[in-house]
Structure 1
Amino acid sequence: MKTRKSISLIRDYVGLDKKLKSKLFISQNGCHEWTGAKNYDGYGVIWFEGYSWATHRVAYELANGAISQSSEKFWVLHKCDNPSCCNPEHLYVGSPSDNARDCAERCRKSVGWRLWASQDPNFDPKRKVGTVYYEYKGEIKTLTEWSELFGINAITLNQRFMAGWREEDIPLPANKYKRHILKDCNTNYKRFSGIEEVNNYLTNKEKKLKENKVPVSARIPVWMKSILENSAIKNDRNFSLELINRVKLSLTEEEKKIAGI
């Protein structure tokens, strides 16, 4: 088994501890902020005895002892979601799957994504990106769920959504991919980063529908209202119902939601 990097490889624990603490700043929220070198994801980096070390890992192992080489939970994770924090009380050990779950729940993404996205001049390095959701035909699912439903590779499907394929073309078999990629690509799909964005979107959408809710009668043209009133005076109920049904059929799905029907 490959030897994992651990402070068990270090000879001078005292020197390492001294070097670590020389560049720590204790903030009001209790985080021990590393003020030295950091990588592009904000994690502290320290060089000692010929190795580069993640400062939060060093801090955890100095306080709790070296993590066993055979341990399934070998990763050191943050409770505070602050990559530069080295406070042992804010750290815990976990497995790669624990780390992936934290990454999704806290709307973070892989290093590879950050390096790729940073080429965009409009890229915001502080933007957090987590599990990707898409709204398709009024329904919201994760990209993976849509991928499994259509039987299409998730990366390919993501390209289709981002390129703006027509709704009827999205589920096409993969062997028709290139034939449609540059054809009529102007559809906009709502993309969400993390479940929190989804919940906020649904909450705001429901609130907006309630605020804009109006009775069907308010959407009927004045001229048609007069016909309805005259037919009501004549007790021609069937004629009135027929006109109302025609109005309902003419409404779009969004208008029906606003009208509450």
Structure 2
Amino acid sequence: MVMKLTTEERFWLKVEKSNDESSCWLWTAATMRGGRGSFSGAEENVAHRYSWFLRYGPIGKGLFVLQICGNPSCVNPTHLELSATKRNTRDPAERFWEKVDVLNPDDCWLWTAALTEKGYGTFYFNGQCVGAHRWSWESVNGPVPDGLVLDHLCRVHDCVNPGHLEPVTIAENTRRAVAFGVYGSANRNKTHCPRRHPYNVENTYVSKSGSRHCRVCIRERLRKYRHDPAFAGRAPAYQAHYSTTGGMR
């Protein structure tokens, strides 16, 4: 006898779901105009609204469910919030920088949200996914010149510090990538982080981009976020990212 799937099981089969709750969970089935998911046979026939319903319960009359990440295909309930207005009016810069771990001006500023398979951050802006590092650089310097691409001088793909990025030709970017393959062993052989904490098994977190991060430094960042009013509200998202990816203990 074939067991019939429940409505909730049918729903989640249509979702590309990450184990990281800071990332977008993408709807892979039918969509409506504007890119939002369509789902039939449930209390809510719009995918992200049904996701909210499953996590938080019924949606009050006259209320809208907004995707605060700005991605219309996202059904991650942690990216949703109730609103009395239909449009997401949050400033893109506010959405962007709450996803960035900034410690010091000269350090790598690590993207804590969705990453590509190669470890680059992605950010939903003006109806499309863009490179987080590109958005960061362009927010400071304007559009990347035609024919050029952005090179990470720090070689850390999930870094969005505009000071670590340089517009170069594709040929130069390729040349540097090859050079990094040759000289990258110098970084891989380092035994301590820049603040002299050891890169050992207990103290090392490896990101999707292959970058090593010091757990002691991560905890120091969290303490700063918790006690500095300027970072109010950012510690929970940052802590969730590292606790689900194994970067904090």
Q: TM-score, normalised by structure 1?
A: 0.34
Greater Rg by CA: 1
Q: TM-score, normalised by structure 2?
A: 0.35
Higher relative contact order (CA 8 A, sep 6+): 2
Structure with greater helix percent? 1
